[in-house]
Every structure is written in C-alpha cells, then in structure tokens.
Structure 1
C-alpha cells in the first residue's frame, strides 16, 4: 500500500480575509463621542498682549468645590440644589443691586441697545474634589445660563431657546447668547488636602 501525503490547506487567502474583516469592523463600528463637558477654550494670546484690566469683585461670583466635597459660594456653605438659583440671581441682577454685577450697554441684533451684565463665574476646586461634585457644579451653572436664555427667548420670540437652536436660527441664538454670555473661569485646582 502506498503512503499518501496529507493534503495542505491553502492559507494564501487567509490574510486577505483577515484584512477584509478588519476593514468591515472599522467601517461599521461607531464611536460615541457624547461624553465630557462642552467648553470652548480661549485662543492663545499673542506675546505682545497687554494684561487685561482687573475685574471688580462685584462682577465675580466665586464658587469653590473643596476637598471635603463641600460647596462654598462667595465664602458661604451652600447646597448644590441652591446653586442654580443663586447663579441666576447673580447673572441677571434683576434689581440692579450694588453688590451684584455692573452692566454695560451694547447694541445687540433683535434687542437694540441692551444692558449686558459684566458677570464672571469663577469656578475653583481642590485636587481632592470628587469628580461627581465637579460635574454637578458644572451642570448647575450651565442650567442657570440655559434657563435665563430660555426665559429671554420665550419673552422675545415666543419660542424656547432649545427650539431656536434645533431649528438652526443662528442669529437669534447668537443674540440671546450676547445678552447672557456664558463666562465661567476655571482656576487650576489647588492642593489643600495635604497630598
């Protein structure tokens, strides 16, 4: 009886199949990018730029999330549930209180000459601040701006601010943002936890 050789498997096309599978998975896989905070960083300053003038204390709303996960607003302990309303009061200053932000008159489309607050929210945190508290503070501050913009959009245009955004009414959205500009300044975290 003659000895038969074991037939070999042709593996020449295996590399092609592996490559096609790789391309298939790369093309069909979606990457979610909805995570994180939407913040626009200021452009870098040219080297010859002069220091900006100091901001008056009355125009700055100091929010500190410390290493003990306590929220301090203007030096006073505050619950996270109170932050949004406190921030709205500061940003809008409806009674034009002397200890809250000053205003400057600007020409804004759809609104004409309008008083715009000189407000700045200074958000500070410690290196030991929990990420959860940091996100809650960011959310509450963003909600304060969103609610003020929504109230103004409903008053002026009879529609919600989100509707104006969703329907691509960029000029109206821009005008509302000019009346209530979102100014949140974040300082570099401090190391007060003894680390």
Structure 2
C-alpha cells in the first residue's frame, strides 16, 4: 500500500500578517503618559561640613500613612487644606519687626511659634511604603502649588505678571519680551520663596 505524505501548510505569508498586525496595534493603541515630578538635586556638599542647625518651628512635617491619610504638624488634615496650611507656614514671617531676620514682604500671621523667614522654612514629607502613587503625587503637587501661589503673588506685586505664567512661557520657548530680564526677575522671586522641599525615606 502506497504511503501518503501529510499536506504541508503554506506559512510563507504568516510573517507579513504578523508584521501588519503589529503596525496596526502600534498605530491604534493609546499609551498613557506616566506622571512624574521635576526635581533638581542639591549640589554636592563638601566633606567634614557640619549640617546647619534647624529650629523645629522652621520644619513643616507632612506624614502620609499607608491608608493615604495625612498628618500635618501632628494633626489630621484633609488634602484640600494642605496647600493653604503650607502657605501659612511659608509666609508666616515669625521674626518681630525691628529684629534681624524680619520679613517685610510676608503677609502671614507672624506667629512666633511658626517659621521665622521663607528662606529658613523647610517642608518635609514622610511617606509609608504602602502609600499610593496617586496620593504621593497629589501631596507633592499641593506643596509645590503653595510655593507657586506665593511666587505668583509677589511677582504680580513687583512686576505685574505671574511667576508661573512667565516661567512656563520661557520653558516652552514662546515668551515674547526680554527673556534675560525676565529670568533675572524670576530668580529674584525664587530667592524670596526658595523651594525647600525634602523627603524622608519611606517607612515599612
């Protein structure tokens, strides 16, 4: 009895089909952009330099637990109130008038138990390892928003424009005007309210 050969499947076009499907999915698939934070690393400190002494009242401590709940200055706080609390701390100006270190542009309550001067005010964030990424980003945005709000206020008072709008226009290359002069003014505002935002290693 004659032996039959099994019919072969023509797979010559399979590679072409797979390639076309790959192109189709690449063109039609929407890839979400990850949200991130822009941070500049501090300059490297020389060795054998003692860290500066920081008064406890010049620290604004934000703790986020594993349930995404906030504890600000040892008190529970809602996310919606975080930016306002940070502004009050940064803009406090606790040194009395006539004394060294008095802030003549601060508009806070000038509480002697809170921050002395914007340059001395430090915001510290401590997260739990199980803190959600969305909450982490929201906390960072609220704190940066506090700095931007104060910077906008002062740039509006001194120059008639908002810090965030001019900075964005320069970063995007669409600023119409004397860019060098604008950058110098931005630096002045940054020195008035320097962004001192630190993070403590997450706790397990």
Q: TM-score surpassing 0.5?
A: yes
In structure 2, the residue matched to 1:87 is: 86
Match for residue 119 of structure 1 among 109, 118, 121: 121
Match for residue 133 of structure 1 among 132, 135, 155: 135
Gaps of at least 5 residues in structure 2 are: 1-31, 93-107, 170-174
Moved more, 32-41 or 154-163: 32-41
In structure 1, the residue matched to 2:200 is: 187
Count residues with an aligned counterpart.
150
Which string of whole-angstrom CA distances, capped at 9 and with x for unpartnered residues, describes residues 64-87 of structure 1?
A: 111121111011110000000000
Alpha-carbon deviation of 1:54?
2.3
Alpha-carbon deviation of 1:117?
3.8
So what's the TM-score if we normalise by structure 2? 0.68
Which string of whole-angstrom CA distances, capped at 9 and with x for unpartnered residues, describes residues 112-144 of structure 1?
A: xxxx44100011101111111101100100111
In structure 1, the residue matched to 2:185 is: 172
Alpha-carbon deviation of 1:100?
1.0
Gaps of at least 5 residues in structure 1 are: 1-31, 104-115
So what's the TM-score if we normalise by structure 1? 0.71
In structure 2, the residue matched to 1:38 is: 38
For 2:126, what is the secondary structure of its paired residue? strand
Match for residue 158 of structure 1 among 154, 160, 163: 160
Runs of 4+ that moved beyond 3 A: 32-35
In structure 2, the residue matched to 1:28 is: none
In structure 2, the residue matched to 1:70 is: 69
Alpha-carbon deviation of 1:161?
1.1
Moved more, 52-61 or 155-164: 155-164
